[in-house]
Structure 1
Amino acid sequence: MIFVASGTQDGRGLVEYLLKQNYKVMASVVTNYGKDLLPKDENLIINDHKLDEEAMKNCLKENKIKVFVDATHPYAVNVSKTAMQVCDELNIPYIRYEREVTPIPAYNKLHLVKTYEEASELAMQLGENIFLTTGSNRLDLFAKDSKKYNKHIIARVLPAIASLQICENCGISPKDIVAVQGPFSESLNIALYEKCNADVVVMKNSGTLGGTETKLTAAIKLGLEIVIIDRPRIDYKKLTHDYDCVGTFVAKYEK
């Protein structure tokens, strides 16, 4: 059986790709929404519980996993580090599938930072109305800093109960929540930025599939300040950006 650490569109695509090749697959997701998006297939088992190191180890052993495919979000570095460590201990072949980064254009109002903390601090210095496209992760940090510096933040998050609960916990007013499923076209991003009177946009480099390119071009056309949290750098044991490469790797170990 192949284990796919999913939770992204990439992960769902890989699950479908492997199922079409008649592999038995276990897909791991962390939300009911992610679970609902996976295909219904007799060869698919879904794990919808969060897996820490010990739970992951037990799961892989109990299900006799032959290959581990890591297709988690590019910024979910802790999951990837745990997966590589567990696979090393259990001698399970590991491969990382990751979407390509979006090239960063030359633009004098674009600022590249390494952490959420840097992004929040800088965004508060650059403008008054800060449009966050980073989802609900670390929203508490931006909310805290916005109160500290008396700035206005708009949070674009998934239309999921968990995301909206985080917004409420952070004290973000419903009028400052854009709860929609991306990615979005350039024109829709422009409309949202204008509607919210944004003068700063904060984003991650989640690749074209994550909508980074159209977020960028929309902000540049409007002359907005842009803060990009750079993608974390990890020394993956085996890294690819291609489904067929994953298929070739899997075929070596799962007959």
Structure 2
Amino acid sequence: MILVLAGTADARGVIGTLKAEGYRVAASAVSGYGARLAREAGADLVHEGPLGEEDLLAFLKDHGVRAVIDATHPFATAITGAARQACRTLELPYFRYRRPEVKLPSHPALLPAASFDEAAALASRGQVIFLTTGTRHLECFTTAPALAGKRLVVRVLPEETSLARCRQLGIWPGDIVAIQGPCSYELNQALYRQFKADVVVTKDSGTTGGVVEKIQAALDLGLTVIVIRRPSEPDSLSLAEIIPMLGEVLER
């Protein structure tokens, strides 16, 4: 059994490829959406809900997992760290899937940020900040002194936990856009216009995350775009690299 840490559209391709190679596949996803994608891709077993390090260790042991492929979001650093540690503990092969990166355009209105806190500081140049960064780091923006008095519009997944987090942090319901992405260029522009945004904040989440459409739609409207760089993962691999390596380690 191979465990795919899922939750993204990328994981669907990873699971499908593993099944085509003849592997039995288990998948884990935090959200119902991610779990549904894993089932649709043909996973033999799907765990829905968060897995802490101890839970993950138990899952790996109980289901006889022989290797782990981490296809979570590039910014899902907590589960990635837990998975690395669990695999070290059990001496299991661990592979970090690398989502294809986007070559960002060179544009004076496109500003890179090394962290969410830096992005919040840069966003203060606007009055209406449209956040497409999810809820995990939303507090970096709602508590940033530089953004006091600014209007924050947040685009989040249509999940109860996401909506509850927004309300907990004081986001007015009229400033919550609950929608499952990725969104088209046209829809992104319509949303920016609807809320009269002058700054858009996004993450460098790769082609699968629809970041190209988010950025280009904003730049073409003359908006400032702040892009949070993804964490460095020098050992990450493409799926084409993972598959032969997986076969080699499982034959030992």
Where does 1:106-255 land on structure 2 (aligned, <5 Å)?
106-124=106-124, 126-145=125-144, 149-236=148-235, 239-242=236-239, 244-254=240-250
Does the CA contact (< 8 Å) of 1:66 and 1:253 recur in 2?
no
Specify the code of the residue in structure 2 equivalent to 1:36. Answer: R
Specify the code of the residue in structure 1 equivalent to 2:100. Answer: E
Residue 96 of structure 2 corresponds to 96
Moved more, 140-149 or 210-219: 140-149
CA RMSD of aligned residues (A): 2.0
TM-score of the aligned structures, taking structure 2 as reference length: 0.92
Does the CA contact (< 8 Å) of 1:23 and 1:43 recur in 2?
no
Question: Which digits, 9 at most, give the CA deviation of each residue in 1:57-83, with x for residues without a partner?
Answer: 222122221111010100112222222
Does the CA contact (< 8 Å) of 2:6 and 2:38 recur in 1?
no
Moved more, 139-148 or 222-231: 139-148
Does the CA contact (< 8 Å) of 1:16 and 1:39 recur in 2?
no
Does the CA contact (< 8 Å) of 1:4 and 1:27 recur in 2?
yes
Shift in Å, 1:40: 5.8
**C-alpha distance in 1 between matches for 2:18 and 2:84:** 21
Q: Which residues of structure 1 form unaligned runs of 5+? A: none
Residue 15 of structure 1 corresponds to 15
Q: SS where residue 135 of structure 1 aligns?
A: coil
Does the CA contact (< 8 Å) of 2:19 and 2:42 recur in 1?
no
Q: Which residues of structure 2 form unaligned runs of 5+? A: none
**C-alpha distance in 1 between matches for 2:115 and 2:217:** 23
Relative to structure 1, the CA distance from residue 45 to residue 4 in structure 2 (aligned partners, 3 Å threshold; closer, same or farther) is same
Q: SS where residue 19 of structure 1 aligns?
A: helix
Specify the code of the residue in structure 2 equivalent to 1:72. Answer: T
Residue 83 of structure 1 corresponds to 83
Where does 1:27-106 land on structure 2 (aligned, <5 Å)?
27-39=27-39, 44-106=44-106
**C-alpha distance in 2 between matches for 1:85 and 1:146:** 36
**C-alpha distance in 1 between matches for 2:237 and 2:152:** 36
Shift in Å, 1:186: 1.3
Shift in Å, 1:10: 0.8
Does the CA contact (< 8 Å) of 2:15 and 2:43 recur in 1?
no
Does the CA contact (< 8 Å) of 1:146 and 1:153 recur in 2?
no
Does the CA contact (< 8 Å) of 1:146 and 1:152 recur in 2?
no
Identity over aligned pairs, percent: 38
The alignment of Structure 1 onto Structure 2 pairs a total of residues equal to: 251
